Amino acid sequence: MAVKTLDDLLGEGVAGRRVLVRADLNVPLDGSRITDDGRVRAALPTIRRLADAGAKVVVTAHLGRPKGAPDDRYSLRPVAERLGALLGAEVTLAGDVVGEQARSVVGGLADGGVALLENVRFDPRETSKSADERAELAGELAALTGQDGAFVSDGFGVVHRKQASVYDVARVLPAYAGGLVLAELDVLRTLTGDPRRPYTVVLGGSKVSDKLAVIEALLPKVDRLLVGGGMCFTFLAAQGHGVGSSLLEQDMVDTCKRLLAEAGGKLVLPVDVIAADAFAADANTRTVASTGIDDGWLGLDIGPETVKEFAAALSQAKTVFWNGPMGVFEMAPFAEGTRGVAQAIADSPAFSVVGGGDSAAAVRLLGLPEDGFSHISTGGGASLEYLEGKELPGVAVLNEGE
């Protein structure tokens, strides 16, 4: 059964109807300042299309990981302000999720108006393991839209979660896939179908354990798997090298030995690293061979020779997927590995996908041209689970409708 889309909903007519949109507005904050508004910008097209067609748009989203209760540190207030500025129209923030304020704000929406409900994770039922509790919240969210309401799933970064505003509400309201979700799925199908070769994957981040499933899923399918970030040190330890005080998952060493044996030369590790005597931006640093990290020193970025080797491999690729920074890019002395690899991907003629999360943030923080990449995903976890071959509940439920 084909998933119904935003185009289908607009074709039915939305003028005067309340449409609930699940967006992914989980942006990084410095206090109340948004440091990367990429996800807000990604949510704009669907919201704008609905508003321009005369819908009363009710947006629900989460921010951070509050403990199922209101917490001002995780209020969506800064997001409402930024969303309004980008839309060029006021976005009213309801002071609660489905309570009296939400009902008042939604009830007062004019055609083409946009309201944002407060952080849906302030309600413990959103992430409850009880299907009945989630269904109860989903019913209250649906009730906000009235008898002719509809639901648009456009938060790709959360479709791998079986949560009330992602999964359960799609079983209550007529449900449609938003443009962002459709675009993300189209890109991922390209990666998992018959990608143009050579197909090169770049994986970074801190832990092998976080990426184990995707490594195992991708190894048989890729031509090169370039590994950087903190996770590389567990692989180096598996080869018998000392890694000093670098991040090491001792319980994953045997797994890494197995992966290296199975890779048959596909898996490429750094040849040099930027080592520091402390985890700090003002630490003493030196470039050393990846096999020669002294005791008391820790690797915090890949080195210049590794950047050259990775760039050479990327220049030959026809398809590239990148997920995870090459080092602690938030600190200037350890940002050049991520910058160099990202620039090599941008310079490559390959179909290139940045797999969300820290990688997408790094592109923007380091000032790299976003149009140098074919696609920058908004959902790191969702992208990885799709590539692992897992079912995404928030997508699967869209197939259940009539």
Catalytic residue among 18, 22, 39, 56: 39
Is the per-residue pLDDT at 1 higher than 60? no
Terminal CA-CA length for the chain: 8
The question of whether 207 is a catalytic residue gets the answer: yes
299 is in an annotated binding site: yes
pLDDT at 365: 86
The question of whether 357 is a catalytic residue gets the answer: yes
Question: To 10 degrees, what angle do helices 357-365 and 38-52 make?
Answer: 100
Complete domains list, the chain, with CATH: 6-181 (3.40.50.1260), 194-388 (3.40.50.1260)
Is the per-residue pLDDT at 228 higher than 90? yes
Identity of the residue numbered 146: G
pLDDT at 380: 82
Would you say how long the chain is, in residues?
402
Query: Which of 337, 340, 272, 328 shows the shortest CA–CA distance to 300?
Result: 328
CA distance 60 to 170: 13
Half-sphere exposure of 324 (CA within 13 A, CB side): 25
Angle (nearest 5°) at CA 199 between 266 and 267: 15
pLDDT in tens, 283-335: 999 999 999 999 999 999 999 999 999 999 999 999 999 999 999 999 999 99
- pLDDT classification of 356: cutoffs 50, 70, 90: confident
pLDDT at 401: 57
Question: To 10 degrees, what angle do helices 77-87 and 38-52 make?
Answer: 60
281 CB neighbour count, 10 Å cutoff: 14
Is the per-residue pLDDT at 132 higher than 90? yes
pLDDT at 357: 76
pLDDT in tens, 168-218: 999 999 999 999 999 999 999 999 999 999 999 999 999 999 899 999 999
Catalytic residue among 68, 84, 112, 381: 381
pLDDT in tens, 258-282: 999 999 899 999 999 999 999 999 9
- Could you tell me the two tokens for 212? 């184990």
pLDDT in tens, 139-178: 999 999 999 999 999 999 999 999 999 999 999 999 999 9
Q: What is the DSSP code string of 354-397?
A: E-SHHHHHHHHHTT--GGGSSEE-S-HHHHHHHHTT---HHHHG
Catalytic residue among 205, 229, 303, 357: 357
- pLDDT classification of 402: cutoffs 50, 70, 90: very low
Is the per-residue pLDDT at 244 higher than 80? yes
330 is in an annotated binding site: yes
241 is in an annotated binding site: no
323 is in an annotated binding site: no
88 is in an annotated binding site: no
Task: Tell me the pLDDT of the chain averaged across its residues.
Answer: 95
- pLDDT classification of 343: cutoffs 50, 70, 90: very high
Catalytic residue among 48, 77, 162, 207: 207
Provide the pairing of β-strand 56-60 with 18-22: parallel
Query: Average pLDDT for residues 75-98, to the nearest whole number?
Result: 97
